Amino acid sequence: EIVLTQSPGTLSLSPGERATLSCRASQSVSSNNLAWYHHKRGQAPRLLIYAASIRATDIPDRFSGSGSGTDFTLTISRLEPEDFAVYYCQQYGSSPRTFGQGTKLEIK
């Protein structure tokens, strides 16, 4: 199975700053089928990005995804208070689908 490694484990930033989150795969992700999710405890995870770079429905344009093959990045251009949460990447190009361990984005 494909192992996804996210970095950093925790990212401490202030509202208005730019966040850059990384997701590295142990082997190439088929068709760049890589998604990013936002998750707050007690809530449903929310799909942000799919196919590495396509924003999901109603996701603001401050979220962007990039990358291909084994290296992917989620960028949040200007952090809003509601953006502080845990972010997961997921590959859905190969079975079993796998998730990264998460990056916690916390307020500095």
Residues in the site for other proteins, rule: CB under 8 A?
1, 31, 33, 35, 42-47, 50, 56, 88, 90, 92-93, 95-102
Contact indicator for 33, 92 with CB cutoff of 8 Å: yes
Q: How far is the CB of 97 from other proteins (least distance, A)?
A: 4
Which one, 17 or 30, has the nearer CB to other proteins? Answer: 30
In the complex, the smallest distance separating the C-beta of residue 86 from other proteins, rounded to whole angstroms, is 9
- The nearest distance, CB 99 to other proteins, in angstroms, is 4
CA 9 vs CA 12, 56, 60, 104: distances in Å: 10, 24, 24, 6
The residue among 33 and 75 lying less far from other proteins, judged by its C-beta, is 33
- In the complex, the smallest distance separating the C-beta of residue 89 from other proteins, rounded to whole angstroms, is 10
**Do 91 and 29 contact (CB within 8 A), yes or no?**
yes
Distance CA(53)–CA(49), nearest Å, equals 6
How far is residue 98 from each of residues 23, 42, 72, 78, 92, measured CA to CA in Å?
12, 21, 15, 28, 7
Nearer to other proteins, 77 or 94 (CB): 94
